[in-house]
Structure 1
Amino acid sequence: MDKCKRIHLLDAMQFFIMQQDRISGAAEIERKAIKFIEKYIGKPSLFKKSVELLSTYPSMASIWNIVNFALLYGKRAREKYEEMANANKKVIENGAKFIRDNQTILTYSRSSTVARTLKECKAKNIKIICSESRPRYEGRRLAKELSRMFPVIITTDAALPYFLDDADFVLIGADAVLERHVINKAGTFPLAMVAKEKKKPLYVAASSHKLFPFAFIKEEPGEEIWKNSP
């Protein structure tokens, strides 16, 4: 196999792995997407690869921005990608400063930005409440990560709102931030409604690169929740 074919095969394998990733947070997917798309900047295949990325992550505003930067700025897109990374770092820094000693934070799913924000509070005496986050169980991964630093309570998704009485506030991530809505994992809406009823603040950890005028919601395969259903 010649070198060109090996490179194409490797790229195809890397993209397949990205497509199968169902538990990484948005910021982690952003880094992988930038690494992927940068290989095609200045090449005829850039538009085709951009469409492939968008069809895989249509609800993620940052992926749209990553693609737009590549198409509009070419090699100078690297500067925009650095701006995105720096903005996310600022969100984490500000979030860590906002969290005080002896607070209990309730979160849902596994936002990599939220995870890094909480890890920045390792010197503080805080508690975390989260849920399994079915069907991919990324909440279990978050609980395992954070339990090395903080007391963590993990419950089922359906029971998570019952723990709001024990929390000071809710902290979540987002795939996109619209004018009046936030796009996040299914189940966020009822959690937000109960938080509003109980007068518990809900904060979204997201940079301005998540702002977007619209959002596409991708329907995931039913096999994720029930394989071989009747």
Structure 2
Amino acid sequence: MKIREKELNNIINDKKSGSLDILLRLKKHLMKVCSDEAYMKYVIEVSENKLNHFPAVQNFLKDLKKVFKNFNQKELKKYLKKSVDEQENSIQNLFERNKKLLMKNRVITTISFSKTLLEIFKLLYKENPELKVFITESRPNNEGKLLAKKLIKEEVNSHLIVDAMMNYAVQKSDCIIIGADQILKNGNIVNKTGSYPLALCAKANKKPFYVIATKDKITNKNKYFPTEYSSDEIWEYKNSKLQITNYYFEEIPKNLITKILI
């Protein structure tokens, strides 16, 4: 397998990173291969199929195809460079728009791994070195551990807990902040499984529950249909009387959300 195909496989089969992290890596991969029309077409087709549950990725690919239609290497590279720059600047702009609200919170609970949240917490820590983040491990792929490792590298105080301990963390937090894989047209959001019970814990403890996401997470869909993943990720044990369900994402109703920060 060529290096570029290996890199692409790592991107489209990534089960731990958030959609914006995957999207940014996909854009940078396309920038490196934009001289190869046939391969770019292949990347677009594979990404549309494998990453069809990420609106941000699909919206980007839809726009990219319009530019790709009249293949011009110079224009493609210019378009991709602009798109990368805009995405990398979008988090800073998102933070600045919501800085006043975010600065009110010293202890925060979150779930899973989100590139957006990672960057927001890094910016928040620069303003408030007392910041502490509770992170649920986020079974079955333990993306919470990934977020904890990255926050620790930035010297952010991090507290990793098992998913079942989320109420313990909520009680000790000023607020709950999660990312979003999708913002539905009806006002509900889609995020890593465990976000719904986290929202319920927030309501029970009268703590604000915020969703922070860039505008490219907004979709025209009114309903989310979850995809089932391998049961082996939970337990490899097999028995005719045993059923195992493994959904990565779930829908959180808008009435449990204090505010969507975009």
- TM-score class normalised by the smaller sequence: 0.7 to 0.9
Separation in 2, partners of 1:224, 1:60: 21
| SS of match in other structure, 1:158 | helix
Q: Answer with 21-30 or 37-46: which moved more.
A: 37-46
Separation in 2, partners of 1:105, 1:147: 15
Is this contact kept in 1: 2:122–2:156, CA < 8 A?
no
Q: Does 2:79 match 1:77? A: yes
Separation in 2, partners of 1:82, 1:19: 21
| SS of match in other structure, 2:197 | helix
Is this contact kept in 2: 1:95–1:205, CA < 8 A?
no
Report the number of matched residues: 223
Separation in 1, partners of 2:150, 2:36: 39
Selected match of 2:59 from 52, 59, 65: 65
Separation in 2, partners of 1:220, 1:211: 24
Selected match of 2:233 from 213, 224, 229: 224
1:50 is matched with 44
Is this contact kept in 2: 1:61–1:212, CA < 8 A?
yes
CA RMSD, Structure 1 to Structure 2 (Å): 2.5
2:146 is matched with 141
Which protein has greater RCO, CA pairs closer than 8 Å, 6+ apart? 1
Please report the TM-score for the alignment, with normalisation by the length of structure 1: 0.84
Selected match of 2:184 from 172, 178, 202: 178
Q: Answer with 97-106 or 63-72: which moved more.
A: 97-106
Separation in 2, partners of 1:10, 1:85: 25
Deviation at 1:216, TM superposition (A): 5.6
Query: Would the alpha carbon gap of residues 52 and 102 (structure 1) be closer, same or farther in structure 2, given more than 3 Å must change?
Result: closer
2:14 is matched with 21
* Deviation readout 1:96-132 (Å, 9 max, x if unpaired): 5533266211111111111111111234112211111
Where structure 2 has 5 or more consecutive residues not aligned to the other structure, the ranges are 69-75, 240-262
AA aligned opposite 1:26:
S
| SS of match in other structure, 1:135 | coil
Separation in 2, partners of 1:21, 1:117: 22
1:197 is matched with 204
Where structure 1 has 5 or more consecutive residues not aligned to the other structure, the ranges are 1-7
Q: Does 2:180 match 1:155? A: no
Q: Answer with 18-27 or 39-48: which moved more.
A: 39-48
Separation in 2, partners of 1:114, 1:11: 29
Is this contact kept in 2: 1:105–1:167, CA < 8 A?
yes
Q: Answer with 122-131 or 98-107: which moved more.
A: 98-107
Separation in 1, partners of 2:149, 2:83: 33
AA aligned opposite 1:33:
L
1:164 is matched with 170
Q: How does 1:84-163 map to 2 (within 5 A)?
A: 84-100=87-103, 103-123=106-126, 124=128, 125-147=130-152, 149-163=155-169
Is this contact kept in 2: 1:84–1:209, CA < 8 A?
no
Separation in 2, partners of 1:89, 1:137: 27
- The sequence identity of aligned pairs, in percent, is 26
